[in-house]
Amino acid sequence: MNVSSQTELGKKKLLRFGELGTLEKVFQPTVEEVLRKDYHLKGKWRSKVFGNENPLILELGCGKGEYSVGLAKNYPNCNYLGIDIKGARIWTGARTAHDEGLSNVAFLRTRIDFIQSFFAKDEVDELWITFPDPQEKRRRKKKRLSGAHFLNKYSSFMKDNGVIHLKTDNKLLYTDTLELARYNDLKIEKNSDNIYREGWKDETVTIQTYYETSFLTEGANISYIRFRLPGNREIKELHHDIY
């Protein structure tokens, strides 16, 4: 990429960052707001943001927000909140939601490490993890969004036996998450190491992210697992080596 292209890309990002703050239902707390205290909307997302008591469903690492927006269109009686740290990416979903008048989708710009500062006990019904960084190296294992470390964070604010969805192109992440669920006796409701081969027709295949489209073009297999997360016990990590 030449200097001119980099400059134009930088200008576009700045414009999107500026517009992001003007879009409805986009929340951008500072680190100081959540590092040592709870966010002011904790426990109040339904009442203060969506104005109803419908189920609250999160998309972690939402990127451009394709899943959050797609699910919001398909299920108007549910509330969706896309979470990502990249403001320029969130802008795409937030802009689409604004232009299409979707009142049941919002976006939160923050690090997922801070997620317990945003949600109260029993506040979240479901959680989607779409094409996360697989964190394949052993020293990065605690960073996995579908690993025991984060599952125990989620259980602090999800309803008992809330639903976790993982969609990925990474075989290791899929198999390790499946093994982790089985090791902890979690109820696995549906799983596949190649969802397109099996002819599924639900939101796991009808909604595609920007990255998924690229992966499919390259011939990658897309895997999926849906399981239940109990709120009354600790999820224990597997200890086999990951290279």
Residue ranges of the domains in the chain?
3-229
CA 92 to chain centre: 15
Q: What angle do CA 40, 112, 175 make, to 5 degrees?
A: 145
Considering 133, 160, 185, 241, which one is annotated as catalytic? 133
Which of 89-98, 134-143, 174-183, 203-212 has the largest mean confidence?
A: 174-183
More confident residue, 239 or 132: 132
Q: What is the mean pLDDT of residues 95-107?
A: 95
**pLDDT above 90 for 142:** no
Which CATH homologous superfamily contains domain 3-229? Vaccinia Virus protein VP39 (3.40.50.150)
All residues at 6 or more sequence positions from 203 whose CB lies less than 8 Å from its CB, including other chains: 70, 71, 74
Residue 237 corresponds to which amino acid? E
Which of 109, 2, 106, 111 is CA-nearest to residue 56? 106
Any idea of the CA torsion for 68, 72, 77, 82, to the nearest 10 degrees? 20
pLDDT of 195: 94
Which of 147, 141, 199, 136 is CA-nearest to residue 169? 136
For residue 234, what is the DSSP state? P
185 catalytic? Reply is: no
**pLDDT band per the 50, 70, 90 thresholds, residue 243:** very low
pLDDT of 5: 44
Q: What is the mean pLDDT of residues 18-36?
A: 78
**pLDDT above 60 for 201:** yes
In percent, how much of the chain has pLDDT > 70? 89
For the chain, what is the mean pLDDT?
A: 89
pLDDT of 13: 60
**pLDDT above 50 for 31:** yes
pLDDT of 54: 98
Q: What is the mean pLDDT of residues 70-90?
A: 94
